[in-house]
């Protein structure tokens, strides 16, 4: 009975999703709605998984500084498992309020401010215990230390001078240090002073009777006399008496000058009825935050005027009435509410039928094997449990045992460090942003959301993807060699998601490309010889070839193409130059064969670069 009774000020678990961890909140108010339901106004607490990674680093830096400031170091070194579980106990307080149905409460917990003198292991030993040391602002995305400090120094404390010795004179100029407003050793008696104050009140009442605005605000004589008896009138009378060296006749003449009696008003009289109503409305909304009251409701009033009016307003009947109304309202509010134990089955619960598991998160039948050959628990690796719960995205098909599931719901993480969780235990089954952050630092199997620790094969849980082949063209291969300084293949391989600037590569290739492309001209076939010009001598009959046939080049088998037929220059008009031309042809043929033997093997290895030297040397020979 007492466990299900929740009161104002309790720290409780709220469930807003069947698959996500519980929300941790503190009950501020319990209100009953018009429909009869109970709503709880709560203060929000955030886990490490709920804030950004940059703020997490800032929080870790703050914790490290606190550890270094300690006079005595930590008694025992924490293990990796303890550090992992201790992160789940850390919360961040916020000033944010929200209203939640009281029926979503799932239990009580304990949240305390981090005690620097207490060992951190004490938080792990206690069940459902959390701690916080920083305040998180969800709107500004900032972290602040929720810790008071003692203001020590000349800015906050006065420098007390040393006490003077007996008989030592004070050489300070008192007129520069302070101003004297009243002399207790004045020649007037107390009776004379009281009579002067009565005259001052009478002058104030008469002045209000002459003032038109005051007659409207205080239409009765009693209200005018009460306003004239306030402190502002008495302070002005005593100050006037002191300035005239306690001469009653001179002070009275100042109170009633030639133009009429002096009227002294305080903030209660200066403020109109509409301004007073706005002040009460602002006070109900902001409390005693006078800066916000002035900024949003009364910008034409000074901060001094607002503060002075507040303390005068507390002496009026309006304040007494509001105080009684608030007390009656608080008496009528709910102080506690009874929430029965939640026994409905969780949608993530995996049902067991005849030793086989049913569908999980919309997965098709047969997604899980029998209980003996199923997947292990993602947290404690056990294969046996009274009940299993699906955990994570449906395509992962991971599961947790009963104890690990309750740990996940309460603390927002797994008992053991997991690769599937990613750095800082920030991977959540639902937020896509958290999954993307964890994939960036996970191995290749984790990028495909394949569990790393299960006994089953990864192929059973990963969908087959269509294979593809990237075949680069010759121009692409050529660009790799020409633009090595721009592409930087090794660096690009380490950064696969950073795009390559194709525009710069095209511009670089255009600068290296030739300005004019030469198209090979069509070779005119040699003229056919007439039948009468063919040799009919004995050499032709016996099948022997003349020197003209032997002077033609054989096919270049090494290059795979037929070389250009060397046309000898023996068909000149003068036969006497036959021997000289034959020597020239043989020399050119030998030079060409030598160049081909030197250049062609290199050209085969670098097929993207045309052989420039052979193009320059060969035409010069013919």
Q: Which two tokens stand for residue 69?
A: 């400031």
In the prediction, which pLDDT does 394 show? Answer: 84
Q: Which of 377, 512, 531 is nearest to 455 (CA)?
A: 377
User: What tens digit of pLDDT does each residue of 261-285 get?
Assistant: 888 888 888 888 889 999 999 998 8
Stretch 388-407: mean pLDDT: 89
Q: Which of 126, 145, 137 is nearest to 86 (CA)?
A: 126
Q: How confident is the model at residue 538 (pLDDT cuts 50, 70, 90)?
A: very low
Question: 494-525 b/e with 16+ CB inside 10 Å = b?
Answer: eeeeeeeeeeebeebeeeeeeeeeeeeeeeee
In the prediction, which pLDDT does 574 show? Answer: 47
User: What tens digit of pLDDT does each residue of 241-265 get?
Assistant: 999 999 999 998 988 888 888 888 8
Helix (H) or strand (E) holding 94: strand 90-101
Give the span between the Cα atoms of 577 and 559, in whole angstroms: 34
Distances (CA, A) of 480 to 349, 468, 500, 509, 602: 55, 22, 12, 10, 19
Stretch 108-113: mean pLDDT: 92
Residues facing 13 on adjacent strands: 24, 107
* Angle at the Cα of 257 from the Cα atoms of 251 and 261, rounded to 5 degrees: 95
User: 3-state secondary structure string, 257-306?
Assistant: CCCCCCCCCCHHHHCCHHHHHHHHHHHHHHCCCHHHHHHHCCCCCCHHHH
In the prediction, which pLDDT does 208 show? Answer: 82
Stretch 116-132: mean pLDDT: 86
Give the span between the Cα atoms of 486 and 505, in whole angstroms: 7
Is residue 231 classed as helix, strand or coil in its secondary structure?
Answer: helix
Q: Which has the higher per-residue pLDDT, 593 or 449?
A: 593
Q: How confident is the model at residue 600 (pLDDT cuts 50, 70, 90)?
A: low
In the prediction, which pLDDT does 505 show? Answer: 83
Q: Kindly tell me if the per-residue pLDDT of 515 is higher than 90.
A: no
Give the span between the Cα atoms of 567 and 569, in whole angstroms: 6
Is residue 78 classed as helix, strand or coil in its secondary structure?
Answer: coil
Give the span between the Cα atoms of 24 and 112, in whole angstroms: 12
**Phi, psi (deg, nearest 5) at residue 83:** -65, -40
Is residue 561 classed as helix, strand or coil in its secondary structure?
Answer: strand
Give the span between the Cα atoms of 145 and 154, in whole angstroms: 24
Residue 17 in contact with residue 2, Cβ under 8 Å?
no
Mean pLDDT taken over the chain: 75
Stretch 549-569: mean pLDDT: 43
Q: Which two tokens stand for residue 331?
A: 């008496």
User: What tens digit of pLDDT does each residue of 166-222 get?
Assistant: 888 888 887 788 888 889 889 999 999 999 999 999 998 888 888 777 766 666 777
User: What tens digit of pLDDT does each residue of 142-158 get?
Assistant: 888 866 667 788 888 88
> What secondary structure does DSSP assign to 496-554, as a single string?
TTSPP-HHHHHHHHHHHS-SSPPPPPPPPPPPPPPGGGS--SHHHHTT---HHHHTSPP
Q: How confident is the model at residue 524 (pLDDT cuts 50, 70, 90)?
A: low
Give the span between the Cα atoms of 397 and 549, in whole angstroms: 82
Residue 99 in contact with residue 41, Cβ under 8 Å?
yes
Distances (CA, A) of 25 to 230, 250, 343: 49, 69, 21
pLDDT more than 90, % of the chain? 21
In the prediction, which pLDDT does 371 show? Answer: 42
Q: Which has the higher per-residue pLDDT, 29 or 530?
A: 29
Give the span between the Cα atoms of 448 and 443, in whole angstroms: 9
Stretch 592-608: mean pLDDT: 66
| Residue 384 burial (10 A CB sphere; 0-12, 13-18, 19+) | exposed
The reported pTM is 0.49
- Least-confidence region, from 163-177, 240-254, 354-368, 509-523: 354-368
Residue 446 in contact with residue 439, Cβ under 8 Å?
yes
Give the span between the Cα atoms of 161 and 170, in whole angstroms: 12
Q: Which two tokens stand for residue 40?
A: 């709880």
In the prediction, which pLDDT does 419 show? Answer: 55
What domains sit in the chain, N to C, each tagged with a CATH number?
A: 5-145 (2.30.30.490), 190-265 (4.10.1240.50), 349-460 (no CATH), 474-512 (no CATH), 550-621 (no CATH)
Residue 42 in contact with residue 97, Cβ under 8 Å?
yes
Q: Kindly tell me if the per-residue pLDDT of 227 is higher than 90.
A: no
Q: Look at the chain and count its residues.
A: 622
**Residue 567 DSSP label:** -
Give the span between the Cα atoms of 279 and 322, in whole angstroms: 13
Q: Kindly tell me if the per-residue pLDDT of 405 is higher than 60.
A: yes
User: What tens digit of pLDDT does each residue of 307-325 get?
Assistant: 999 998 998 888 898 888 8
In the prediction, which pLDDT does 70 show? Answer: 65
């Amino acid at each position: 009975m007492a466990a299900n009774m929740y009161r104002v000020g309790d720290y409780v678990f709220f469930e807003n999703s069947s698959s996500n961890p519980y929300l941790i909140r503190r009950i501020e108010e319990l209100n009953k709605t018009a429909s009869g339901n109970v709503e709880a106004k709560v203060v929000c607490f955030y886990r490490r998984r709920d804030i950004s990674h940059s703020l997490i680093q800032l929080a870790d830096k703050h914790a490290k500084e606190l550890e270094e400031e300690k006079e005595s170091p930590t008694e025992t070194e924490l293990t990796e498992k303890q550090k992992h579980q201790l992160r789940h106990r850390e919360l961040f307080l916020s000033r944010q309020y929200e209203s939640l149905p009281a029926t979503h409460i799932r239990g009580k917990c304990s949240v305390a401010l981090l005690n620097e003198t207490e060992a951190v292991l004490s938080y792990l030993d206690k069940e459902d215990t959390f701690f916080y040391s920083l305040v998180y602002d969800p709107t500004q995305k900032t972290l602040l230390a929720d810790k008071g400090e003692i203001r020590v120094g000349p800015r906050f404390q006065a420098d007390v001078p040393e006490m003077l010795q007996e008989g030592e004179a004070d050489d300070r100029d008192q007129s520069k240090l302070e101003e004297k407003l009243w002399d207790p050793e004045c020649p007037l008696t107390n009776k004379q002073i009281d009579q002067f104050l009565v005259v001052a009140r009478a002058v104030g009442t008469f002045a209000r009777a002459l003032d038109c605005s005051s007659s409207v605000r205080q239409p009765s004589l009693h209200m005018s006399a009460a306003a004239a008896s306030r402190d502002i009138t008495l302070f002005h009378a005593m100050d006037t008496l002191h300035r005239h060296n306690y001469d009653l006749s001179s002070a009275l003449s100042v109170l009633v000058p030639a133009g009429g009696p002096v009227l002294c008003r305080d903030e209660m009289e200066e403020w109109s009825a509409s301004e007073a109503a706005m002040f009460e409305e602002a006070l109900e909304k902001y409390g005693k935050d006078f800066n916000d009251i002035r900024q949003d409701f009364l910008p034409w009033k000074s901060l001094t005027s607002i503060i002075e009016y507040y303390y005068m307003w507390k002496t009026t009947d309006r304040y007494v009435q509001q105080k009684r109304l608030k007390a009656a309202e608080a008496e009528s509010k709910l102080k506690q509410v009874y929430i029965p134990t939640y026994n409905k089955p969780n949608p993530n619960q995996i049902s067991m039928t005849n030793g086989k598991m049913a569908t999980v998160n919309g997965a098709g039948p047969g997604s899980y094997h029998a209980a003996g050959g199923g997947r292990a628990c993602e947290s404690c690796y056990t294969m046996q449990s009274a009940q299993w719960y699906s955990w994570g995205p449906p395509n992962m098909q991971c599961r947790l045992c009963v104890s690990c599931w309750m740990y996940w719901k309460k603390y927002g993480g797994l008992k053991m460090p997991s690769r599937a969780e990613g750095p800082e235990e920030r991977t959540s089954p639902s937020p896509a942003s958290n999954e993307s952050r964890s994939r960036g630092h996970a191995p290749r199997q984790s990028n495909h959301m394949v569990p790393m620790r299960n006994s089953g094969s990864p192929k059973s849980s990963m969908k087959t993807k269509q294979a593809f082949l990237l075949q680069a063209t010759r121009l692409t291969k050529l660009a790799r060699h020409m633009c090595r300084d721009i592409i930087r293949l090794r660096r690009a391989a380490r950064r696969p998601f950073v795009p390559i600037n194709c525009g710069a590569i095209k511009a670089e290739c255009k600068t290296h490309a030739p300005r004019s492309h030469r198209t090979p001209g069509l070779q005119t076939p040699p003229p056919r010889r007439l039948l009468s010009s063919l040799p009919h001598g004995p050499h032709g009959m016996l099948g022997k070839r003349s020197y003209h046939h032997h002077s033609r080049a054989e096919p270049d088998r090494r290059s795979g193409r037929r070389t250009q037929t060397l046309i000898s220059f023996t068909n000149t008009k003068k036969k006497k130059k036959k021997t000289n031309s034959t020597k020239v042809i043989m020399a050119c043929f030998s030079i060409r064969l030598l160049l081909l033997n030197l250049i062609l093997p290199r050209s085969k290895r670098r097929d993207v670069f045309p052989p420039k030297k052979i193009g320059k040397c060969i035409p010069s020979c013919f």
